[in-house]
Structure 1
Amino acid sequence: MQGDEGLMGSGEFSRRSLLSPKALRVYEQRGLLVPATVDPANGYRRYAATQLEDARLVVRLRRLGMPLDRVAAVLAAPAAARAELLAAYWDETERRVAGQRALVAALLAQWEDPSAGGGAVHDVQQREVPQQRVLSEQRTITQPEMPAWVPAAVARLEERAAAYGGPSGPMLLVFHGLVTEDSDGPLEVCLPVAAPEDDPAVRVEPAHREAYVRLRKRETVFPSILTAYDEVAAWLQGQGLRPSAGPREVYFAHFPSAAPDDEVCDVAFPY
């Protein structure tokens, strides 16, 4: 019921906002829609009519599949910045869906014609990789956390690399375990530098032979990039070879400025 103070109870607010009582509780706990008042005696919650606009915005953003932390950022942003946040989220969503579409196509090709090499679209190549000394950061991390953590880790490593005259080779992402939405690696970011043999700040990446495929920027979107991992793994199995270390992504181009069809990355398996 509407109160004398211009407030409404949670039931009325639920009906007018199209949010269930359960959703209201969740959003209150997450700080998205906090009641205007809470009676200390009975816990009765009242919402202001002015909160309906935010509540309806939450409904719309959730229909787009936006995670609650991103919804909170939109609500907290000034009106002029909300469009930018939504556009950035939707761009990420479209790239993710494009990656999922490519993965579905690869799986369908594999199932419809198993003799066609699993729908492979890349030529697997081989190369010798010399020993490298690398600065590194390692963390247990899930795939959704990678877009924020990896660039930050790279920036920190590049700052440290300045003491060695800058990086001496391409940046590596070394996967010491599976990194997906459900599995947390760990993942190591490595930046080669020209460091002395006895420098305790670096670790040695051993010389090895590796099989790899080269990807364009548009092919690096998760989960479509997993197709490249499958292709190299299948090639190694077909050759009777076994990986000797964790697979890695080798970024030899400046990723942020690259165009979608620019070659930027190798997916590689040491063996």
Structure 2
Amino acid sequence: MHHEPDEELLPIGAFAARARLSPKALRLYDRLGLLKPAHVDAASGYRFYRVGQIEAARTVALLRRLDMPLAGIADVVRLGGTRAAEELDAYWAGVEERFAEQRTLARYLRGRLSGRNTELYATFEVKTVDVPERHVISETRHVRAEELPAWIGGSAERLEKAAADECGGIPDSPCPHYVIYHAEVTEESDGPAESCVPVADAEAARAWAQRQGRGSEVKVRVEPAHRLAYTRITKAQVSYPQIIAAFDAVESWIAEQGLTVTGPCREVYFVDWSTTGPDDEVCDVAFPVARRD
């Protein structure tokens, strides 16, 4: 490997001491492609490093302590400066989001295991809202739990664009985008689920749906007026299976109030998902309900 003649090269032992790492760790970083020696002696196989690589070696060690994937560590070391810091910020935001989801799940499981679900449900405030009749465009698909987030985001983008460009816009509504679960969506069960967006011009929407051709997953239909019992949850609580606690809480409240569930459960999204953090409220978990006869 080429190096400047006036550069100071350190054998692996001396470099390890300066970098406050072990030679074993440095050999591992070399094998993983995270930190290559500046020079390897062809005869002896001894590794030599530049003094200027000390900071990179320490950075690699610290990033490994954050459990950053090897590819991410390689990118941070390669990029350096502001772009490296941005790469770290993006990784850590994902870590915090996953931790928030796990914290929510652990809390839910603790309630189940201890038999104190009633106390857990009490943390969810349940309300009702009356939703008027409206026309919606929708996309229905069989999806499993792990496929759900990507499909919800993609279908919302497709339907909202169609509503704005082809169907007279999205009317004022408490439900700009919502997903109806016509059957269970878990790791084993694939629904189906229906993604819906209200539209202002029903005739234009029907014409748009016809242009999609045979075999299309989209349709136009009337959503009758109904009352929803719902609770508002954070982004961290949306992930499966954490969200099950919210559904259970709403169902428990419905039973306590002497109401009847009249249709499949749904999730109502009212903010831009990409601009929210794990503790921001993003979704209503809801059931259509009516008074018992």
Q: Do Structure 1 and Structure 2 share a fold, with TM-score over 0.5? A: yes
2:129 equivalent in structure 1: 127
* Paired position in structure 2 for 1:235: 253
CA contact (8 A) 2:167 2:205 kept: no
Change (3 A) 1:198 1:83: closer
Report deviation, 1:182.
2.4
Return 139-148 or 162-171, whichever deviates more: 162-171
Structure 1 residue runs of 4 or more that deviate by more than 4 Å after TM superposition: 50-54, 79-94
Instruction: Kindly provide the CA deviation profile for residues 90-121 of structure 1, in whole angstroms up to 9, marking residues without a partner as x.
Output: 75465344323322213323543548444431
Picking from 191, 196, 203, the partner of 2:202 is: 196
Q: Contact conserved, 2:97 with 2:277, CA < 8 A, in 1?
A: no
**How far does residue 65 in structure 1 lie from its aligned partner after superposition?**
11
- Greater shift, 191-200 or 212-221, is seen at 191-200
Name the residue aligned to 1:167: 170
Change (3 A) 1:65 1:205: farther
Distance in 1 between residues matched to 2:120 and 2:194, nearest whole Å: 29
Q: Which amino acid aligns with 1:243?
A: V
| Superposition TM-score, scaled by structure 1 size | 0.63
User: Which among 224, 230, 236 is matched to residue 212 of structure 1?
Assistant: 230
Asked if the contact 1:96–1:222 (Cα under 8 Å) also holds between the matched residues in 2, the reply is no
Q: 1:100·1:223 contact (CA, 8 Å) conserved in 2? A: no
Provide the C-alpha distance between the structure 2 equivalents of 1:95 and 1:225, rounded to a whole number of angstroms: 15
Inter-partner Cα distance in structure 2 for 1:151 and 1:167: 17
CA contact (8 A) 2:163 2:205 kept: no
- 1:258 Cα shift? 2.8
Which residue identity is paired with 1:177?
A: A
Equivalent pair of 1:110/1:119 in contact (CA under 8 Å): no
Structure 1 Cα separation of the partners of residues 188 and 141 of structure 2: 15
1:155 to partner: Cα distance: 1.7
- The equivalent position to 2:276 in structure 1, one of 251, 258, 263, is 258
How much has 1:84 moved relative to structure 2? 8.2
Gap change, CA 1:115 and 1:223, over 3 Å in 2: closer
Q: TM-score, normalised by structure 2?
A: 0.59
Per-residue CA deviations over 1:51-106 (Å, capped at 9, x if unaligned) read: 9759xxxxxx9xx798xxxx99x99xxx7699988976775465344323322213
CA contact (8 A) 2:168 2:204 kept: no
Is the alpha carbon distance of 1:51 and 1:110 closer, same or farther for their aligned partners in structure 2, counting shifts above 3 Å? Answer: closer
CA contact (8 A) 2:137 2:205 kept: no
CA contact (8 A) 1:210 1:270 kept: yes
Which structure: larger Rg? 2
- Would you say how many aligned residue pairs link Structure 1 and Structure 2? 219
Matches within 5 A, 1:1-271: 91-92=93-94, 94-112=96-114, 114=116, 116-162=118-164, 163-168=166-171, 169=173, 170-196=176-202, 200=206, 201=209, 202-271=220-289
CA deviations on 1:28-72 (whole Å, 9 max, x unpaired) are xxxxxxxxxxxxxxxxxxxxxx99759xxxxxx9xx798xxxx99
Q: Which runs of 5+ in 1 are unaligned?
A: 1-49, 55-60
Q: CA RMSD in A?
A: 4.0
Give the CA deviation at 1:160. Answer: 1.1
Q: Which residue in 2 is equivalent to 1:21?
A: none
The residue identity in structure 2 corresponding to 1:224 is: Q
Shift of residue 194, structure 1, vs aligned partner = 1.0
SS in 2 for 1:179: coil
Quickly say closer, same or farther: Cα 1:252–1:119, change in 2 above 3 A.
closer
- Identify which range, 129-138 or 188-197, moves more after superposition: 188-197
* CA displacement 1:116-157 (0-9 Å, x = unmatched): 444431111112111121111111111211232222212211
Distance 1:115 1:141 in 2: 29
SS in 1 for 2:159: helix
Q: Give SS of 1:256's match.
A: helix
Are the aligned partners of 1:246 and 1:269 in contact in 2 as well (CA < 8 Å)? yes
CA separation in 2, counterparts of 1:118 and 1:251?
Answer: 23
Once residues 89 and 137 of structure 1 are traced to their aligned partners in structure 2, the CA distance between those partners, rounded to angstroms, is: 32
| Secondary structure of the corresponding residue to residue 231 of structure 2 | strand
Residues 87 and 148 (structure 1), Cα distance of their counterparts in 2 relative to 1, 3 Å cut? farther
Give percent identity, aligned residues only: 42
Counterpart secondary structure, 2:202? coil
Q: CA separation of 1:152/1:111 partners in 2, compared to 1, >3 Å: closer, same or farther?
A: closer
